[in-house]
Every structure is written in structure tokens, then in C-alpha cells.
Amino acid sequence: MTDIPHLSVRNLSKVFATDLFVKPHTAIDNITCFFPEGKCIGLMGHNGAGKTTTIKTIFGLLKPSKGEILFKGRPLQVADKSEIGYMPEVNKLAANLTCKEILQYHMKIYRPKGVAKKLYPDLIEKKLREVELWDARHKKVTKLSKGMGRRLSWSQATIHNPDLVILDEPFSGLDPLGRKLMSRLIESIRQESKTIILCTHELGSVNQICDELHILQQGKLAFSTINPQPNQLPAPIFSYKLKITGIDSETLAKIQKQHSLPDWEFLHTEDLLHTLGFDDYIHGIKWIRCLIENGILFTEFRKHQGFEELDLEQYFIT
């Protein structure tokens, strides 16, 4: 193991500007993250947070608008992809080929180092048995169930024994048994000290499997941590405080009622100085507009930041 990360993403941005008349959309914005060798790194985020775009940009399927992708410290080349395995978020398999033919094709493309060609059939058989698809080896992809397709996608991503495996939503569409098998398979390559990048919404898996975690939010890297533990994720809390002076509590309540102003999150009153707290900036602005219109004095409107510790699920929802 070296100090150089297995894969580095530096200042990566992707802007989609598909149409002259449509405003460009920034899918990922200046992301920098490192994927150390032999670790399992979770990449999390809501739908549309930019996880899949990041992965597609890593593989060169999308051209980055800015930034670079380094593989073992140097720019990622086409030939380097032979050391990477990719399982896409949905089954993306050639429709009229059989399970066996798909793996045969992949073996011919990847040509794993140190494996003689005559051993390919044995490897394919081993892989298909591992994912319980040996009996379906002559079935065409179109005849497979979604779960079988996921397992075939797994085989396709790992048959060449890659050092780095990128799994995009490996659990999606799997029944409990399928999830169990998938968890076991991921755990097995984790035991082999492979680098794994796991994009998932399965919070339980992230807690169990991942050594590190990156959370994306609206295309930006919102948060990164090492050894994510339940109940230890600091979530930023933003609040806006408005200080009003010169009126008593009754007048304050009257003004709110009269102008249908938003409720405050907290209120602290000391003599004629009221400190109102809002979690929404717009609420504060509505109050300020009303105060100005009515000639009431306010002395301060400020954003405050604090942290609270949340578990992964709460964090994800927040």
C-alpha cells in the first residue's frame, strides 16, 4: 500500500449545456476527494446529488468541464480501466447475448494479467456459480429477472479481478435474499483489500462496510469522514437571528398576527430587546420588510452556525 490514493478526483466540475436556449446545469461543482488504496469508500447523496455523474466522469463517459482524475497519481488512461471494475446503477447488458457470452466478452476485453486463455472457461464457471447463475448460463439477458441481472452485472464488474471496484447502487432492485448475497459478495472483495467505491442509499451498508464516507449535496461535496459511526455525524445547523428593540412583547405578538408573519423558532426577550430565531432566511426577511414598513427599529440580522450530532439516516434526511 502506498500513500498515493488509488483514485483522486480533483476540482472536478461538470456543467451540462445541452441547448443554446437552456440555462446550463451544474451537475457537479468543484469536487475534490481521494479514494485510498484498500479502503471501502461510500459515496452518498440524494437522487440528483451528482454521484452517478461523478462516476461517469471518472470513466470518461462524460467529459469533465473542469478538473482532473488521477489513477495512482497520474491522469487516468484508457488502459488503466483494465484495473477497474464497474457495476452500473441499472443492469446495462447487451440484450441478445447469454450470461456466459457476456462474461466471455469481458474476459476477452480485460485479459486479466497472469491468467492463461485456456483458464477463462473455468473462471467464468466459477464466477457464475458464485452468483448462482450457472444454471442460467445459456439464458439471454432479456430473459433474466432484475435480481439475476444485478448479479450478472456484479460478475461482469469483478471477473477480471480488478484492484478498484466501483459499485453504483449495487442493492437496487434486489429482494432480501439478493441483498444478503450482494452484501456477502462485497464483503468478500473487501476482505481481499480491494479499493471499493460504493454509491448507495443503503445507509446500513455504509455503516457496516465503509471505511470512509463522502456525502454529495446538489453537486457539491458536503461532507467527508473517516470511519463513519452511527450518531457521530456532525450536521451543520444554520439559524438566523433578528434583534428588535423599542417595542414590548405584546406589540411584537400583535404585529405578527396583524401581518401574518412567520413564526419564530425561538424568542428571547430582555426588557425591550427581542431576539427572534428563524431557521429559514426568507422568514427573517419577511419580518424585516414589515418592521421597515412600520418604522420599528431592528439592530441586527445575522446568520449563526452550530453543529448537532446525527446518525447517518438523520443526516441523510437532513
Q: CA–CA separation, 55 vs 133, rounded Å?
A: 27
**Distance of closest approach, residue 109 Cβ to other proteins, in angstroms:** 5
Question: How many residues in the chain?
Answer: 318
| Full DSSP string of 133-164 | -GGGTTSBGGGS-HHHHHHHHHHHHHTT--SE
**Residue (96 or 260) nearer to other proteins, CB:** 96
Q: List Cα–Cα distances, 290 to 46, 143, 201, 287, in angstroms.
A: 36, 65, 43, 5
Q: List Cα–Cα distances, 126 to 183, 242, 270, in angstroms.
A: 18, 67, 75
Q: Which long-range contacts (CB under 8 A, 24 or more apart) does 183-187 make?
A: 183/208, 183/209, 185/130, 185/131, 185/154, 185/158, 186/40
Q: Which residues contact 298 (CB under 8 A, 6 or more apart)?
A: 242, 243, 244, 245, 288, 291
Reduced to 3 states (helix: H, G, I; strand: E, B; else coil), residue 171 is coil
**Residue (17 or 253) nearer to other proteins, CB:** 17
Q: CA–CA separation, 3 vs 36, rounded Å?
A: 8
Please say whether the beta carbons of 45 and 200 come within 8 A. Answer: no
**Residue (31 or 244) nearer to other proteins, CB:** 31
**Residue (51 or 106) nearer to other proteins, CB:** 106
CA 77 to chain centre: 24
**Distance of closest approach, residue 59 Cβ to other proteins, in angstroms:** 4
**Residue (131 or 310) nearer to other proteins, CB:** 131
**Distance of closest approach, residue 30 Cβ to other proteins, in angstroms:** 19
**Residue (97 or 290) nearer to other proteins, CB:** 97
**Residue (105 or 266) nearer to other proteins, CB:** 105
**Distance of closest approach, residue 144 Cβ to other proteins, in angstroms:** 13
Residue whose cell numbers read 433578528: 242
**Distance of closest approach, residue 102 Cβ to other proteins, in angstroms:** 9
**Residue (106 or 151) nearer to other proteins, CB:** 106
Per the structure block, which three cell numbers stand in for 53?
455523474
**Distance of closest approach, residue 309 Cβ to other proteins, in angstroms:** 37
Q: CA–CA separation, 14 vs 21, rounded Å?
A: 18
**Distance of closest approach, residue 86 Cβ to other proteins, in angstroms:** 4
| HEC string for 91-109 | CCCCCCCEHHHHHHHHHHH
Q: What residue ranges bind other proteins (CB under 8 A)? A: 16, 53, 56, 59-63, 78-82, 84, 86, 88, 90-97, 101, 105-106, 108-111, 156
**Distance of closest approach, residue 152 Cβ to other proteins, in angstroms:** 11
